[in-house]
Every structure is written in structure tokens, then in C-alpha cells.
Amino acid sequence: MSYDLKIPALCDHRIYWELGTIDTDLRSLRVSKPIVSSTLTVRMSGNIVPESQYILVNDMNSQAVTGDIRRMIYFKQELKAIDDFFEVKYLTNSSNCPKCAGMKGLDDIQYDNLGELREARDEYLLMQNVEKYVVTEIGSNVFHNWLGSGLIDLIGTRIMDANYMRSKITQEINATLNKFKTMQQEYITTGRPITDGEQLDTIDMVAVTQSANDPTVLEVVVTVTAVSGKTVDFTQYLQFKGFRARG
């Protein structure tokens, strides 16, 4: 059985203990990002404020963010002190999340509750390896110059024909993952243990779509199935130089 450090993870979009500012009315508490869930915690000078003492309301003084009016914390009774400081733990949306910057995922080393490095195994390792092969520039690893794809070379070009570019990306990813599958089969013949969960069986889908807001951004969704029968996928965003219509 092999393993690797667990790197990619879904972002929870949770803001931990952001300092908030109480308004002059001594009842309105604002934070910097939209609050998208009623599940939050407020601390006043280090002490937890009971949920019964405040409500969430629409902030009419705040500019709308992604179509929704930003919600703020409103105390049911006017606060007595003006020198208390406030900290808020809350959920925001992906487009305003400072941790993932709208990408919905994180690429960072993770630790468990005991401080140990989290390891990716089985299908999680397969997903990580698939992503590694797709996004790594081929030839950039001096020890394994065959690892990776030619997506970087495609990104360096200008989109002249969106359909052609989508086709080229799909072909490149399929070729790269078939190379990865062959590599795994060669490892197995040498006696290296690979679990059914981490072994690639089929490439189910490579979907490439163009952003409606920015035609130079393409979203790539890759879905594969392991020998274990479980399916995994990941999403990659590609930024190109620009779009120029043919003709």
C-alpha cells in the first residue's frame, strides 16, 4: 500500500474569530464578509455571547455582494460598554472566502487533531495523483521528466476557437491519464503494492466549459473510476491569454 500527504481539500469557507466592529447604535455588529449561515459564534471581550441575545438581519447599509444583501449581527438590547471588542466565527460564501479565493478547494498540508500529517490513501490518493499528473508541467520534474501534461503549453496560447481548444484540452488530459494508468500497471508487475482504491480503472469524463463571465477562463472537470468501483473527480480552472474570434 502506498500513500502521499493529503493536499487538496474542500474549503469550509469558515472565518475564524474575525474582529468585528460595533456600530454607534451599540447594537449593530458588522464583519468583513457576507454571513451565509445562522450557525455562528460571537465573543465579546473573550466571552461567548448567548445566541438568544442577538439575531441576524440584512445590512441595508452594505453594498450587495453577489446578489445577496450582506447579513449582520444585531443585538436585541443596546450594549452598555463601548470598549468591548468582538470576535466572530462564521461561514461565508465561496466567492468571498479569503482562504480559497473562490476556488472552493485548498492546496495545503493538513494536520489532524493530534498534530500528525494527514495522508491520502486509496481513492483520495488516486484523486490527488490524477490532479498531480494533469496540472504538472511535463518535464518540470527533473527526476521524472515524463510526469505531467502539456496543458501549460496550451495555456500560453490565445483562444482562437473555443471548440478546438476544448478538444485539445480533452485530448491532452486523456493522454496524460492513460500514461498514468500504464505507469501504475508497470509498477504492479514489479511487485509494488497498489490498492484497488488508488488504481485507475476508467476515465469517465473530461468536461471543459467556458466561463460565462470571462471567456478566457475554462473550467475542467475530470471524473475517473478506481478499480474498487468508486468514482472521484476534481475541478481545475485554466486562464488563457484571451479570446479572438476566427474569421
Q: Are 198 and 2 in contact (CB under 8 A)?
A: yes
CA–CA separation, 141 vs 135, rounded Å?
12
The pLDDT, as a whole number, for residue 191 is 83
pLDDT tens-place values along the chain, 247 residues long: 344 434 455 677 888 889 887 888 899 998 888 888 888 999 998 889 999 999 998 887 665 544 556 788 999 999 887 677 899 999 888 788 877 766 665 555 444 555 544 455 788 888 888 888 888 887 776 676 777 787 777 766 666 777 888 888 899 999 999 999 998 898 888 888 888 998 999 999 999 988 777 777 888 899 999 999 999 888 887 777 655 544 3
The pLDDT, as a whole number, for residue 225 is 95
The pLDDT, as a whole number, for residue 247 is 37
The pLDDT, as a whole number, for residue 135 is 80
- Comparing C-alpha atoms, which of 41, 34, 49, 53 is closest to residue 17? 41
Domain ranges of the chain: 10-96, 121-239
- Comparing C-alpha atoms, which of 153, 146, 155, 114 is closest to residue 241? 155
Backbone φ and ψ for 96, nearest 5 degrees, come out as -110, 5
CA–CA separation, 192 vs 218, rounded Å?
37
The pLDDT, as a whole number, for residue 7 is 45
The pLDDT, as a whole number, for residue 202 is 95
The pLDDT, as a whole number, for residue 173 is 92
- Comparing C-alpha atoms, which of 61, 34, 31, 32 is closest to residue 43? 31
The pLDDT, as a whole number, for residue 242 is 58
CA–CA separation, 51 vs 42, rounded Å?
8
Q: What is the CATH code of the structural domain delimited by 121-239? A: 3.10.450.40
Q: What is the pTM of this model?
A: 0.50
The pLDDT, as a whole number, for residue 245 is 46
